[in-house]
Chains A and B, each alone.
Chain A
Amino acid sequence: MTQPRRSFQVGTGLFILLGFAALAYLATQTTSVANYREGDSYTLKARFSNIGQLKVRAPIKLAGVRIGSVKSIELDVGTLDAVVMLAIDKRFHELPDDSAAAIFTSGLLGDQYVGIQPGGSPDMFKEGDEVILTQSSMQLEDLIGKFLVNGDSSKSAPAQDASSTSEPSPQKP
């Protein structure tokens, strides 16, 4: 009498185990957890004048390898800059402190990420340091606008400001 009862209890236990094993498989093998474990990290600060579509938890990459993720994004009301906190894994604690941070887009329409270009300084970043050299996200609209403006100006005044990339040209009308 107890034998069939025992067998369905074992079967139920196996079923529940299988269900949780499937959940664990989904959670660890098919999601971003598989790429990167949130281990011990240290935080760096970076200021950008425009972060584009960068989101919290976007990856931080060095030479294409993921080394951390964006912790928070805030607006500094004093300087009107975007302050991005970068959480970088403790394993990568030897970043030269003149490294540069830039916002790139993966692929033509992909997500945006923070790319780190290592510098050559003998000193390393420490917890809470600020990344001085930053490059904002490239806005497609700005590029098109510049292209149009430069196209116009090259007719009137050729080769005048082909390399100026920071401000929109004054003779925009």
Chain B
Amino acid sequence: MKTSFKPSLIGDSLAQLGSAGLFLFSILAAIPRSFRHFRETVRQIWFVGAMSLVIIMTCGLFVGMVLSLQLYYTLSIFGGTAALGTVVALSLFRELGPVVTALLFAGRAGTSITAEIGLMRATDQLSAMEMMAVDPMSYVIAPRFIAGIVAMPLLACVFNALGILGAHLVGVSWLGLDNGTFWGNMTSSVDVWTDVVNGVWKSTAFGAVIALIATFQGYTTPPTSEGVAYATTRTVVSSSIVVLALDFVMTAFLM
């Protein structure tokens, strides 16, 4: 284990970045071959997507509710509580929905992908597949990558929808805002293409990045139990950092 540490931190991270880039290319090359394993891809979408629904829906509801409370307080200072629906919808669609979903997705699905592939590596299952002429890139890695790209935008949409419902619950049913004002202001200021679809693009990119990091960390993990533990931690840490950095870049370009 100790031998795998290199003395140079910068050189090490550069090497990680470079091999992650090469790994991305080999995934992309393996995607056409992975269509033979369509059933495996469906199973992965079920695993990373459908199984994440509970946490995504619960968190979406609570994020919407707390956004509504906080923004109601802030807007009431300026006497602008009528804009609550607009502000909640815009901040959810454009920013919080994709980002919070991506962070949850990295914690819920990214870690399990890394741990699963890492254990496959540690228990020599990947080598066994190669021995049986089954390409692990197209049977193990590519389906998980595709599943991440497919599942993330759908999860973000579910998160947004539940967030709006939560905001409506707090704003209208509890704080007594007028129902028509809430929806009317929201529908007149939110645009399909610049707001909703913008968020969908963002979450697709986040899904690809998280799936890439998770599969890469799992595939290149040192084949020990300690190595798998480190790889899982690194997945969450680097996914979160990359998602937030990419979010800034994409927002700057997609505004």
Chain A contact residues, CB within 8 Å of chain B? 5, 8-9, 11-12, 14-16, 18-20, 22-23, 25-27, 29-35, 59, 111
Query: Which residues of B in the span 133-182 have a Cβ within 8 Å of any Cβ on A?
Result: 150-151, 153-155, 157-158, 160-161, 164
Q: A22-B161, A26-B93, A26-B196 are in contact. Are A32 and B187 (CB under 8 A)?
A: yes
Q: Which of A5, A15, A22, A59 contacts B45 (CB 8 A)?
A: A15
Q: Which of B53, B89, B200 contacts A18 (CB 8 A)?
A: B53
What residues of A have a CB within 8 angstroms of the CB of B191 in the complex?
31-32
**B39 within 8 Å of A (CB atoms):** yes
A–B Cβ pairs within 8 angstroms, 26 of them: A5-B39, A9-B46, A11-B46, A12-B43, A12-B45, A12-B46, A12-B49, A15-B50, A15-B53, A19-B153, A19-B154, A19-B155, A19-B157, A19-B158, A20-B154, A22-B158, A23-B154, A23-B157, A25-B161, A26-B157, A26-B161, A30-B186, A30-B190, A30-B196, A32-B187, A32-B191
A131 to B43, CA, bound (A): 61
**B interface, by DSSP: helix, strand, loop or mixed?**
helix
**A interface, by DSSP: helix, strand, loop or mixed?**
helix
What residues of B have a CB within 8 angstroms of the CB of A20 in the complex?
154, 157
Q: Which of B42, B157, B195 contacts A31 (CB 8 A)?
A: B195
Q: A18-B53, A19-B155, A32-B191 are in contact. Are A12 and B42 (CB under 8 A)?
A: yes
| Nearest chain A CB to B187 CB, angstrom units | 4
What residues of A have a CB within 8 angstroms of the CB of B43 in the complex?
5, 8, 12
Interface centre among A9, A26, A27 (most CB of B within 10 A): A26
Q: A19-B153, A20-B154 are in contact. Are A12 and B190 (CB under 8 A)?
A: no
The reply to whether A16 and B154 form a contact with Cβ atoms under 8 Å apart is yes
Closest B residue to A107 using CB positions: B82
What residues of B have a CB within 8 angstroms of the CB of A30 in the complex?
89, 164, 183, 186-187, 190, 196
The reply to whether B154 and A31 form a contact with Cβ atoms under 8 Å apart is no
Chain B contact residues, CB within 8 Å of chain A? 39, 42-43, 45-46, 49-50, 53, 89, 93, 150-151, 153-155, 157-158, 160-161, 164, 183-184, 186-192, 195-196, 200
The reply to whether B188 and A8 form a contact with Cβ atoms under 8 Å apart is no
| Nearest chain A CB to B101 CB, angstrom units | 11
The reply to whether A18 and B158 form a contact with Cβ atoms under 8 Å apart is yes
The reply to whether B192 and A31 form a contact with Cβ atoms under 8 Å apart is yes
What residues of B have a CB within 8 angstroms of the CB of A29 in the complex?
187
Closest A residue to B150 using CB positions: A16
Q: A8-B46, A9-B42 are in contact. Are A34 and B187 (CB under 8 A)?
A: yes
A19 to B48, CA, bound (A): 13
What residues of A have a CB within 8 angstroms of the CB of B53 in the complex?
15, 18
Q: A12-B49, A14-B50 are in contact. Are A31 and B187 (CB under 8 A)?
A: yes
A18 to B189, CA, bound (A): 25
The reply to whether B160 and A15 form a contact with Cβ atoms under 8 Å apart is no
What residues of B have a CB within 8 angstroms of the CB of A22 in the complex?
154, 157-158, 160-161
What residues of A have a CB within 8 angstroms of the CB of B42 in the complex?
8-9, 12
Q: A11-B46, A22-B158 are in contact. Are A27 and B196 (CB under 8 A)?
A: yes
The reply to whether B154 and A15 form a contact with Cβ atoms under 8 Å apart is yes
A15 to B151, CA, bound (A): 9
The reply to whether A15 and B164 form a contact with Cβ atoms under 8 Å apart is no
A23 to B187, CA, bound (A): 15
Q: A12-B42, A16-B45, A26-B161 are in contact. Are A35 and B187 (CB under 8 A)?
A: yes
Interface centre among A18, A25, A29 (most CB of B within 10 A): A18
